[in-house]
């Protein structure tokens, strides 16, 4: 595999964190053991969203993008077509003649698929023969068995990457998903990467060509010297509150689940009442490596966004112990003033792309020293 070191140096970890969190959210909403109780309206898009299909398609887009094809890829859905604006259950003819019959067949295929995926040595031929659509079942397998099936869902991309990696031709697409993960594990550098990071590498280097690696953070175009409103600054700090912090904590728990570190959820340490630590939560990047999390409520400005950072937090993030694992969990509020989104950014990746402005200092002195001077 080529350009591994170059990609590793440029990669923005916020992508993999969001991908892992969305997988964790999916697994929390639809754990494997609950699928046999799945009801029609909990499955289809168009009802009770976020539904199973809604989360597989758009809710976990950062894990793998399968948007583009029609909703018939799910086997059955609730909605309209271009020629018929009536909202109703619609299904592929191969699954039956009524929504009840079609869903029964689709559900049976789903249960069969996850059973096949659970096998230590999966029957790849049987998986590929499953009647669910290729991209849909490939993503389902990657969500439930991320250690066994890489989330490359497009048949064309699987064939292309299989050829590039030197795999045998005309293998089942599900086996290519499996072999790509074995290739990841077989390299000393990529073996340490998460599945989303390896996916991003494959698409950046091989599928999409030499595109620049995008970042969700950009430096402000023009440096502005704003008057500091200390009352507004304190109000903004207070606005973070417990709601935003609890939102970030729930997000982090889902990220750990998505990273197959669910056993570490109970070990997250809440340090909010101990500001000397310089961060809010102590979590985990891997089973044995810590992640330091500082939650920040982000304010929207006309030319970007802003949050306030204490000197202690800043200095802590730069220490040798913390700098490679100190993350800002930036909480964005919706129109109702409640948390609506979160971006996890490594501090050392944010600082070069941000404008740092002084806001306040803590001044300490001994009054007695002034009396001595006066004497």
The pLDDT value given to residue 366? 64
Residue 221 lies in a domain: no
Rg (CA), the chain: 25
- Tell whether 202 and 86 lie within a shared domain: yes
| Per-residue pLDDT at 354 exceeds 50 | yes
- Tell whether 70 and 115 lie within a shared domain: yes
* Structural tokens at position 217: 């953070």
DSSP string for 45-107? TTSSSS-HHHIIIIITTTT---BTB-GGGGSEEEE--SS----EEEE-GGG-SSHHHHHHHHH
* 373 CA to centre of own chain: 60
The pLDDT value given to residue 316? 96
The pLDDT value given to residue 335? 86
The pLDDT value given to residue 81? 85
Sign of CA dihedral 168, 65, 82, 41: positive
Residue 129 contacts residue 113 (beta carbons within 8 Å): no
Return the percent helix, strand and coil in the chain, to nearest 5. 50, 15, 40
How many CA atoms lie less than 13 Å away from 39 in the CB half-sphere?
Answer: 5
Q: What percent of the chain has pLDDT over 90?
A: 71
Q: Which carries the bigger pLDDT value, residue 304 or residue 237?
A: 304
Residue 365 lies in a domain: no
Residue 209 contacts residue 194 (beta carbons within 8 Å): no
The pLDDT value given to residue 212? 47
Q: How far apart are CA 46 and CA 343, in angstroms?
A: 28
70-91 per-position pLDDT tens digit: 899 999 999 988 888 999 999 9
- Tell whether 48 and 141 lie within a shared domain: yes
- Tell whether 23 and 143 lie within a shared domain: yes
The pLDDT value given to residue 115? 98
Q: Kindly state the average pLDDT of the residues 44-69.
A: 91
152-174 per-position pLDDT tens digit: 999 999 999 999 999 999 999 99
- The whole model's pTM is what? 0.85
- For 22, residues 6+ apart whose C-beta sits below 8 A from its C-beta are 59, 60, 61, 62, 63, 254, 258
pLDDT band at 141 (very low <50, low <70, confident <90, very high): very high
The pLDDT value given to residue 219? 56
Q: How far apart are CA 173 and CA 180, in angstroms?
A: 11
Count of positions (residues) in the chain:
375
The pLDDT value given to residue 62? 95
Give the start-end residues of each E strand in 269-375: 269-270, 281-284, 290-301, 304-306, 326-333, 339-346
Residue 253 lies in a domain: yes
Residue 224 lies in a domain: no
The pLDDT value given to residue 201? 94
Domain containing residue 148: 4-207
| Per-residue pLDDT at 19 exceeds 90 | yes
Residue 296 lies in a domain: yes
Total structural domains in the chain?
2
| Per-residue pLDDT at 325 exceeds 80 | yes
């Amino acid at each position: 595999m080529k350009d591994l070191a170059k990609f590793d140096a440029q990669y923005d970890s916020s992508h993999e964190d969001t991908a892992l969190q969305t997988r964790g959210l999916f697994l929390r909403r639809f754990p494997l053991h609950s699928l046999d109780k799945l009801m029609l309206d909990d499955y289809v898009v168009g009802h009770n969203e976020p539904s199973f299909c809604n989360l597989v398609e758009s809710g976990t887009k950062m894990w793998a993008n399968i948007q583009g094809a029609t909703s018939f890829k799910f086997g059955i859905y609730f909605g309209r077509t271009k020629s018929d604006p009536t909202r109703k259950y619609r299904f592929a003819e191969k699954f039956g003649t009524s929504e009840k019959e079609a869903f029964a067949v689709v559900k049976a295929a789903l249960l069969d698929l996850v059973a096949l995926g659970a096998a230590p040595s999966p029957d790849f031929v049987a998986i590929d023969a499953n009647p669910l659509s290729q991209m849909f079942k490939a993503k389902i397998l990657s969500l439930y068995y991320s250690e066994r099936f890489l989330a490359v869902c497009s048949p064309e991309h699987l064939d292309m990457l299989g050829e590039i990696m030197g795999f045998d031709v005309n293998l089942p697409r599900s086996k290519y998903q499996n072999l790509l993960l074995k290739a990841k594990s077989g390299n000393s550098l990529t073996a340490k990467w998460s599945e989303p990071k390896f996916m991003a590498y494959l698409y950046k280097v091989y599928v999409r060509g030499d595109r620049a690696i995008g970042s969700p953070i950009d430096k402000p175009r023009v440096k502005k010297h704003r008057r500091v409103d200390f009352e507004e600054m304190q109000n903004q700090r207070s606005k973070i509150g417990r709601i935003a912090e609890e939102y970030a904590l729930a997000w982090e728990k889902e990220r750990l689940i998505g990273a197959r570190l669910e056993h570490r959820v109970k070990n997250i340490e809440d340090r909010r009442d101990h500001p000397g630590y310089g961060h809010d939560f102590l979590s985990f990047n891997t089973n044995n490596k810590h992640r330091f999390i500082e939650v920040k409520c982000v304010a929207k400005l006309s030319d970007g966004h802003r949050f306030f950072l204490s000197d202690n937090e800043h200095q802590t993030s730069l220490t040798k112990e913390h700098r490679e694992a100190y993350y800002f969990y930036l909480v964005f509020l919706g129109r109702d003033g409640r948390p609506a989104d979160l971006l996890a950014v490594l501090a050392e990746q944010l600082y070069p792309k941000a404008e740092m402005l002084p806001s306040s200092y803590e001044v300490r002195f001994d009054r007695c020293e002034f009396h001595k001077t006066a004497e």
